[in-house]
Amino acid sequence: MTDDPSEKTFCEFFAGIGLVDEALRRSGWHCRYANDIDAKKRQMYEGHYGPSPHYHEGDVWQVDQVLARIPGRPFLATASFPCTDMSLAGKRRGLAGEQSGSLFGFLQVIEQLGDRRPRALLLENVPGFLTSHDGEDFATAIHALAELGYWVDSFVIDAQWFVPQSRPRMFLVGYQSELLTPPLVVRAADVELGAVDDPWQKAIDRADRLRPARLRGAMETIEPATGWATIDCGNPRRSPQSISDVIDFGDDQPWWNQTEVDRHSAMMFDRHSRQVELLRAHGGPPLALTAFRRVREGKQRMEVRFDGVAGCLRTPRGGSAKQIVLAIVDGELRMRWMTPREYARLQGAGDYALPTNTIQALFGFGDAVCVPVIEWIDRHMLTPVFEGSKRGVRSQRSGAINCPAAVT
């Protein structure tokens, strides 16, 4: 495949079940290469999309094998690298950990692509990436992207702005210098930080929900060899959807028997139990709540959410990671585990073809990205930058002397 800058092509690293692809294909992106080490996730991917010769089941550290499978020069590469070592579960080993450290395998691939290096990158991980090793891991990633020629941006998006699931995720975006035309805005080196007349600062200020104070502080102190670049896209609008909109209330669901309901009810904190009883007495249409089992003060507790939002979907490594559905129907309290179809809906992929193995499905979706989040990033950042690059190519082909420059 030749390098055609008019093609909207991308590679999806740490692809899992392909929800980045699910989001990007909706605006015309074409996946030319997908990589993941997990055979069961590949099974789900191909169960949904069909046989995929471009899906490479293998270790990203096998750089030569990866390079041999990437056709031409993709415009974009995405990497949802493992978050385990950024969390307490991974003892916060950060990029020194075996799983999260696979980011360096991905960066090695990008480096060795040479003149086939993607024009843009999109990296995704948990917000703990920012604070891992007192911010050193985040700074390391920023500097590594800059050394590969990418101007960088970073932001945090919570899935609950689009679907009823609390799932904040941190993103890093990298842009090669050839993309530094409108709509990209670069931070000028000769402008004082916080200057009100700085277009980059204005764009950052307008999208204040995307960048918590600690992230903004890091961006103000880290000086990549290239620089910071962003798009003046503002903040996402919050969806009015509630968890009750994605939960199935029918009698055909695997509801627990009364003994199991009573056992879990006894695990509630008193204040949660009182709130549930008030909702049962209130009546109205069927209502859904969600809960996790947690050990608190040496006792197993069931912590219930009452804000209309599910907790962050996780891979089912034990009962504390599986989410419980509480449903109030005609005053009756029902409980069961959340189903794979509901996991799919909470990731914005309600029509995804599910495997027959429930645990396999829960693992696949628990490790995945939220489709509407990636769609928003695409709509406001990736596709506008792609379209800007096409305008630049057309200008060059027409013999224009001055190509449009990035706003500074």
Q: Which residues are catalytic?
A: 83
Question: Is residue 34 within 8 Å of 79, Cβ to Cβ?
Answer: no
Q: Is 231 helix (H, G, I), strand (E, B) or coil?
A: strand
Question: Is residue 383 within 8 Å of 32, Cβ to Cβ?
Answer: no
Beta bridge pairs of residue 189: none
Alpha-helix runs per DSSP H in 222-328: 258-265, 270-282
DSSP secondary structure of 18-82: -HHHHHHGGGT-EEEEEEES-HHHHHHHHHHH---TTEEES-TT-HHHHHHH--S--SEEEE---
Query: HSE (CB half, 13 Å, CA atoms) of 44?
Result: 27
Q: Which of 146, 155, 97 is nearest to 124 (CA)?
A: 155
DSSP designation for 310? B
**Cα separation of 278 and 281, whole Å?**
5
- The DSSP element (H or E) to which 299 belongs, if any, is strand 299-305
**Cα separation of 180 and 123, whole Å?**
19
DSSP secondary structure of 166-189: --EEEEEEEEEGGG-STTEEE--T
In one-letter notation, the amino acid at residue 401 is I
Pairing mode, if any, of strands 168-176 and 120-125?
Answer: antiparallel
**Cα separation of 36 and 18, whole Å?**
10
